[in-house]
A and B are shown apart, each in its own frame.
Chain A
Amino acid sequence: MIRPLLDWLDNRTGYRSLTKEALFENIPGGSRWRYVWGSTLTFGLAIQFITGVFLWMGYSASSQTAWESVYYIQHEMMGGWFLRGLHHWTAQIMTVLLVLHLMQVVIDGAYKAPREVNFWFGVILLQLVLALSLTGYLLPWDQKGYWATKVATNLMALVPIIGDDLQKIVIGGSDYGHHTITRFFALHAGILPAAVIGLVVGHIYLFRRHGITPAKPLRKKDEFFWPEQVLKDAIACLAVLATVMFLTIRFHGAHLSSPADPSEPFSAARPDWYFMFLFQLLKYFPGSWEILGAIILPGLVMLVIFLIPYIGKWELGHRFNIGMLVALLAGVGLLTYLAIAEDNRNPMYVAAVKQAVQDEKRVIELAKAPAGIPSSGAVTLLREDPKTQGPRLFVRNCASCHRYDGHDGMGVAVNDPQSASDLKNFGTRQWLAGLLDPAKVDSAHYFGGTRFKAGKMVQFVKRDVAGFTPEMRTQLYKVVLALSAEAKLGSQSALDAKDASLIEEGKKLVISAEMNCTECHSYREEKGGGTGPDLTGWASREWLVDFISNAKHARFYGKRNDRMPAFGADHILDQKQIGLIADWLRGNWHEPSASSSR
């Protein structure tokens, strides 16, 4: 039944002779493990084609959707992390396999006549695979890929005469944008793979035409490709896949840093590890010498590699080739080591990596939040996130005088002496109780660094409050509850609801003669003396925004203001930025487990 069908098929296609030719190739000296590299690379390419097409189904190439779709593949799509991990780690492993294959070919002298053309095919394939890695690195449109690829495309402009135009064509305009992604994607998923397929077909054809170059001396009798060598190849491929799967599971897919943001510096940007040597090399070519390190030197090295078949014809040529390749690899290794060592010694880089890790963790929290990713893209999630932007704005605008939990808001100690209050927990009962504590009020934490160090408030606390009777202390406690409730802090809402009656009592006490707050402060209907800030809505979002906008306003310090700039009135910050600082100080941001937290 089956036999006649297969006969028919063979008659029409000639598959039997084709299979015979493919499988029963003679291997002089028998099968060997050193011949497996070509097959592992072909297998690697097959993985990339298969996983690449499936990733394509989930990828969306535009600057507002690329990161978002990769996020979706990595974090939402069923098994997406595994698929992406296979693609990513196979690419990494292939770089290693390429080097091993090249080494084996050169050491065995498989580049020699009549195999020159096939050697060149291989070298071009090496470059195409590296080009695939480079283009693929940008596609997630994350900070890492964005800034690292910018370096690569900027170097392109160094090419004499056509450099500028070449760069513009490749990035699809004068600057990075939608067309950079569409072009890189077309290169990555269309042009380069097509070129790779063509060359691989040619590479294998030529390999079969000339046969294998056996490693001398021949150890065994000749064998066929099938099944001895095929089995070795298959086991090697299995080892490759096992490594890829181990890395995929170990790192739960592949890394995705925060969305690309041209306005946000990213000192942690580095090319992938196999390009680190080029990155390091550029450090040695200052100014106009850059072209030497970026184009001329790598170009010369490639030229010499291309000439390997001719160099090999000289008496000592083969040894020279091996020596050169080893020296080249050692050089690459040394430069890579130097690059990594230098980075690890650089505190700025280490801090930038730490920040990058925080940002990518945060943006994924926000993308998973009920509000999701807006159509403007995930980049706005971080830009509009108080938890991310608050500390950054605080460092730049507030930390020269204020502190946040003793540091600059980003966890870095400040050398200059503190000359304004510490704003961690601002608005809470605990913060306010500290201000009304005679032992703390004139410390650097509150008024100690300001012109109010010996002001009326400090005097009141140190003189009057210090002499309070226990009963008055209880009243003061209620005042603290009432004023802190004005802040309407999310983190304190449960406490405020629980103490509602105490708060009501406190509100009355604020305007009472015993507590005497309204001698200086206004509070609700009660107009105070005007020397202290208005306590109506104290530390609420609206109060804080207005205060940061203009502390010199009569509602706050008026003419008595110390050094606090009018950030809004003087256009130092816009309303959105002031709102972000206010929200951050108030702990008003999204947390995965609750809607707000401090």
Chain B
Amino acid sequence: MSEQPQCECPQRRDFLKEFSCVAVGASIGLVPVAAGVYSAMDPLRRKASGGEPVRVTTIEALPADGVPMKFAIIADKTDAWNKYPATPIGAIYLRKISEGKVMALSSVCPHAGCFVDYRKDAKDFFCPCHNSNFSSDGAIKSGVSPRAMDALDVEVRAGGEVWVKFQNFKAGHPQKLPVS
């Protein structure tokens, strides 16, 4: 490395110059960092899509004995630059409660967001990730989930069409909070 200075270098620190070095250096370094961080914040200004009612099936297609049945939600999807018309964006369980009444449950586990299975033999919902267990109406039976399975707004329209307001909710909260 460099040898010890042999010159009569100025010992008195020139504070103005030193301050300028730091100020200029910091500001020029800040520009690319700030530009990058600002762009990386882009997702914060984008809202989650969905929330509009989607036609899922007809009430006739649901088992009369109230066994939940899985359905894909087909809707338009925007993924950054791509737009996909009528594509699967998620899945729900539908369950016929009584004549003309249907219950819709999100297939996403409220604990950590895994996909919950319905076990026909045990007649319950079971999350394969952390063993959360829900009854067929979505209530907690056992396990670590902070809340019951998320019920979705459902409407039976003319002709028995089942329309569901598909939404995702934040995982891990005791309350059901929609993902914004």
Binding site for B on A (CB under 8 A): 21, 24-26, 28, 43, 46-47, 50-51, 53-54, 57-58, 65, 68-69, 71-73, 76-80, 82-83, 86, 208-209, 211, 221-224, 226-228, 230-231, 234-235, 237-238, 241, 245, 367, 371-375, 378
Q: Is the CB of B21 within 8 A of A234?
A: yes
Q: Is the CB of B81 within 8 A of A79?
A: no
Stretch at the interface among B25-33, B55-63, B117-125, B153-161: B25-33
In the assembled complex, the Cα of A25 lies from the Cα of B6 at a distance in Å of 11
In the assembled complex, the Cα of A28 lies from the Cα of B78 at a distance in Å of 62
Q: Is the CB of A71 within 8 A of B81?
A: yes
**Chain A residues near B78 (CB, 8 Å)?**
372
CB A57 to nearest CB in B, in angstroms, measures 6
28 A-B pairs whose Cβ atoms sit less than 8 Å apart in the complex: A25-B2, A26-B3, A26-B5, A50-B36, A57-B39, A68-B81, A69-B80, A69-B81, A76-B80, A78-B39, A78-B41, A78-B42, A78-B45, A83-B35, A83-B39, A222-B7, A223-B7, A226-B18, A227-B14, A227-B20, A230-B25, A231-B17, A231-B20, A234-B20, A237-B28, A238-B24, A241-B31, A373-B82
Please count the residue pairs between chain A and chain B whose beta carbons lie under 8 angstroms apart in the complex: 126
Given contacts A224-B9, A373-B81, are A21 and B2 in contact (CB under 8 A)? yes
**Chain B residues near A378 (CB, 8 Å)?**
81
Given contacts A54-B40, A227-B18, A230-B21, are A222 and B81 in contact (CB under 8 A)? no
Q: Is the CB of A53 within 8 A of B36?
A: yes
**Chain B residues near A237 (CB, 8 Å)?**
24-25, 28
Q: Is the CB of B40 within 8 A of A371?
A: no
Q: Is the CB of B41 within 8 A of A86?
A: no
- Nearest A-chain residue to B19, judged by Cβ: A227
5 nearest A-B residue pairs (beta carbon): A372-B83, A54-B36, A222-B7, A234-B24, A50-B32
Given contacts A234-B24, A373-B81, A373-B83, are A51 and B5 in contact (CB under 8 A)? no
- Nearest B-chain residue to A212, judged by Cβ: B2
- Nearest B-chain residue to A28, judged by Cβ: B7
Looking at chain B, what size class is its interface with the partner chain?
35 or more
In the assembled complex, the Cα of A228 lies from the Cα of B2 at a distance in Å of 17
In the assembled complex, the Cα of A541 lies from the Cα of B17 at a distance in Å of 74
- Given A54-B39, A68-B82, A227-B18: 6 more A-B contacts, CB < 8 Å: A68-B81, A72-B80, A211-B2, A230-B21, A238-B27, A238-B28
In the assembled complex, the Cα of A73 lies from the Cα of B9 at a distance in Å of 50
Q: Is the CB of A26 within 8 A of B7?
A: yes
CB B16 to nearest CB in A, in angstroms, measures 9
Q: Is the CB of A77 within 8 A of B84?
A: no
Partner of B5, one of A73, A222, A228, A238: A222
Given contacts A78-B45, A209-B1, are A227 and B21 in contact (CB under 8 A)? yes
Partner of B31, one of A223, A226, A245, A367: A245
Q: Is the CB of B28 within 8 A of A241?
A: yes
In the assembled complex, the Cα of A222 lies from the Cα of B82 at a distance in Å of 61
In the assembled complex, the Cα of A22 lies from the Cα of B133 at a distance in Å of 62
**Chain B residues near A82 (CB, 8 Å)?**
35, 38-39
Q: Is the CB of A231 within 8 A of B42?
A: no
Given contacts A208-B1, A221-B7, are A83 and B36 in contact (CB under 8 A)? yes
Q: Is the CB of B9 within 8 A of A222?
A: yes
In the assembled complex, the Cα of A43 lies from the Cα of B18 at a distance in Å of 19
Given contacts A26-B6, A208-B2, are A375 and B84 in contact (CB under 8 A)? yes
CB A23 to nearest CB in B, in angstroms, measures 10
Q: Is the CB of B33 within 8 A of A50?
A: yes
- Nearest B-chain residue to A69, judged by Cβ: B81
Given contacts A222-B7, A226-B21, are A79 and B35 in contact (CB under 8 A)? yes
**Chain B residues near A65 (CB, 8 Å)?**
81
**Chain B residues near A28 (CB, 8 Å)?**
7
CB A404 to nearest CB in B, in angstroms, measures 32
Q: Is the CB of A80 within 8 A of B32?
A: no
In the assembled complex, the Cα of A25 lies from the Cα of B5 at a distance in Å of 7
Q: Is the CB of A78 within 8 A of B35?
A: no
**Chain B residues near A86 (CB, 8 Å)?**
31-32, 35
**Chain B residues near A51 (CB, 8 Å)?**
32, 35-36
Partner of B29, one of A46, A76, A230: A46
Q: Is the CB of B32 within 8 A of A46?
A: yes
Partner of B25, one of A224, A234, A375: A234
- Nearest A-chain residue to B23, judged by Cβ: A234
**Chain A residues near B99 (CB, 8 Å)?**
none
Q: Is the CB of A47 within 8 A of B32?
A: yes
B65 within 8 A of A: no
Q: Is the CB of B38 within 8 A of A79?
A: yes
- Nearest B-chain residue to A82, judged by Cβ: B35
In the assembled complex, the Cα of A145 lies from the Cα of B170 at a distance in Å of 43
**Chain B residues near A69 (CB, 8 Å)?**
80-81
In the assembled complex, the Cα of A53 lies from the Cα of B40 at a distance in Å of 10
Residue of B10, B14, B21, B32 contacting most chain A CB atoms (<10 Å): B32
In the assembled complex, the Cα of A50 lies from the Cα of B37 at a distance in Å of 10
In the assembled complex, the Cα of A221 lies from the Cα of B10 at a distance in Å of 10
CB A53 to nearest CB in B, in angstroms, measures 7
CB A274 to nearest CB in B, in angstroms, measures 22
**Chain B residues near A241 (CB, 8 Å)?**
28, 31
Residue of A26, A226, A231 contacting most chain B CB atoms (<10 Å): A231
Given contacts A57-B40, A71-B81, A372-B81, are A221 and B45 in contact (CB under 8 A)? no
- Nearest A-chain residue to B35, judged by Cβ: A83
**Chain A residues near B42 (CB, 8 Å)?**
77-80
In the assembled complex, the Cα of A51 lies from the Cα of B41 at a distance in Å of 14
CB A238 to nearest CB in B, in angstroms, measures 5
- Nearest B-chain residue to A239, judged by Cβ: B28
- Nearest B-chain residue to A211, judged by Cβ: B2
**Chain B residues near A71 (CB, 8 Å)?**
81
**Chain A residues near B8 (CB, 8 Å)?**
221-222
Q: Is the CB of A375 within 8 A of B2?
A: no
In the assembled complex, the Cα of A58 lies from the Cα of B33 at a distance in Å of 15
